[in-house]
Amino acid sequence: MEKNLENLTIGVFAKAAGVNVETIRFYQRKGLLPEPDKPYGSIRRYGEADVTRVRFVKSAQRLGFSLDEIAELLRLEDGTHCEEASSLAEHKLKDVREKMADLARMEAVLSELVCACHARRGNVSCPLIASLQGGASLAGSAMP
């Protein structure tokens, strides 16, 4: 790993984990990151395990997991619950595929509307605006 990642102040810890201090505090409030004990008259210190945990959270977020889902993944982080983790990933994959299908529909409708706008040749009404005013939906045709 990197140089000594033990006994870090919150600012150094946040930098090592690639986030800001507010993110660390937010994760603590959400229960994603334990808050270390504060020795009498001292400040809290963080270590390599904390850095690893924050990186885990950020990696899971990049895959589209919500904070609640990440909390569940953290509960499974000892690696012995592969079936449960796989089930969570399968649900996320299903969600991603549904979003991709929605995006493909949006792209098709927008592409059709852009083409209609370019081909309007003297029409008074803009096809895009007319379509939106007519309540065009992603499920239906782009044209009213």
Q: How many structural domains comprise the chain?
A: 2
Q: Tens digit of pLDDT per residue, the chain (144 long)?
A: 457 888 899 999 999 999 999 999 999 999 999 999 888 778 999 999 999 999 999 999 999 999 999 999 999 988 889 999 999 999 999 999 999 999 999 999 999 999 988 887 776 788 888 888 887 654 454 443
In a domain, 41, yes or no: yes
How many H helices and E strands in the chain? 6, 0
Task: Output the domain CATH number for residue 63.
Answer: 1.10.1660.10
How far apart, in whole angstroms, are the C-alpha atoms of residue 25 and residue 29? 6
Distance of CA 135 to the CA centre of its chain: 30
Angle, CA of 136, 141 and 144, to the nearest 5°: 55
Residues 66, 7 share a domain:
yes
Q: What is the pTM (predicted TM-score) of this model?
A: 0.76
Alpha-carbon span 142 to 144, nearest angstrom? 7
